[in-house]
Amino acid sequence: MRNHYLQRMGIDVWVPRHDTAASEQPTVQEAVSELEPSVSEAAAAPTADAGWHWDELAAKVADCQLCALRSGCTQTVFGTGDRQARMMVIGEGPGAEEDRRGEPFVGRAGGLLNNMLRAMGFARNEVFIANVVKCRPPNNRDPQPEEAAACAPYLRRQIELVAPDVILAVGRVAAQNLLQTQAPLGRLRGAVHRLETRDTPVVVTYHPAYLLRSPADKVKAWQDLKQALKLLHAA
């Protein structure tokens, strides 16, 4: 069954695996601060109060006017899935179809993400899926730093509530914002990073939209997914 989903990802199941590399434990890179806005950004952002539970948090996201993105989108995209999931998937922000439907990772990229999750042994509803920003940036551009900072307490609280064993950061923008770094995705892949305040492991991989454009990198993405699975099995 897993081979079926690997084929759906576009990975030939006969591609040789490097057994020695697969058997090694991931190198843990003690990383970086967790989504902490700068002093100037913190003044504008809400405080992630410990009393925010799911309904209140969703209402705060829906009513948020802290940056200009809200005025240009159809609706906020809060997140979806198991609120007690062992794995959390975090992307950059909603696209046009996500904005229309109010759900992250739909359309072709969402279909590929679903296949990636199935290859790991998860149904979509068995993980929690969210984005760095909850409103669609114009023309699907990258979120600006001040936009990501305004949304950071919402995402931070989602992480606290889910309390996942592993976070899968898909794409450069998600990884850089989660890990507060400007390092390119190629340098962030292959290591296990950690959110400082929760010590949650973070595995970085390619965004499904990128993999649709560059299918040759799906084999590399599968290595990242196996790294996340190894962490889940060890937790």
pLDDT value of residue 1: 63
Decide if 20 is inside a domain. no
Band (11; pLDDT cuts 50, 70, 90): confident
pLDDT tens profile 56-71: 999 999 999 999 999 9
Return the CATH number at 199. Answer: 3.40.470.10
pLDDT value of residue 198: 81
Residue 38 pLDDT > 80, yes or no? no
Decide if 188 is inside a domain. yes
pLDDT, the chain, mean? 86
Residue 68, classified by CB atoms within 10 Å of its CB into exposed (0-12), middle (13-18) or buried (19+), is middle
The alpha carbons of the chain give a radius of gyration, in whole angstroms, of 17
pLDDT value of residue 117: 98
Phi and psi angles of residue 220, each rounded to the nearest 5 degrees, phi first: -65, -40
For the four alpha carbons of 222, 108, 175 and 195, in that order, the dihedral sign comes to: negative
Decide if 21 is inside a domain. no
For the chain, what percent of residues have pLDDT higher than 70?
80
Residue 210 pLDDT > 70, yes or no? yes
Decide if 22 is inside a domain. no
DSSP string, 102-149: T-SS-HHHHHHHHHHHHHHT--GGGSEEEESSSSPPGGGPPPPHHHHH
Decide if 17 is inside a domain. no
Q: What's the domain count of the chain?
A: 1
pLDDT tens profile 96-144: 999 999 999 999 999 999 999 999 999 999 999 999 999 999 998 999 9
CA atoms of 169 and 178, how far apart (whole Å): 8
Decide if 109 is inside a domain. yes
Residue 146 pLDDT > 80, yes or no? yes
CA atoms of 66 and 176, how far apart (whole Å): 21
Q: Which domain holds residue 189?
A: 2-10+28-234
What is the mean predicted confidence (pLDDT) over 169-177?
Answer: 97
Decide if 18 is inside a domain. no
3-state SS, one letter per residue, for 197-235 = CCCCEEEEECCHHHHHHCHHHHHHHHHHHHHHHHHHHHC
Band (50; pLDDT cuts 50, 70, 90): low
pLDDT tens profile 13-33: 554 444 444 444 444 444 434
DSSP conformation class of 14: T
pLDDT value of residue 150: 95
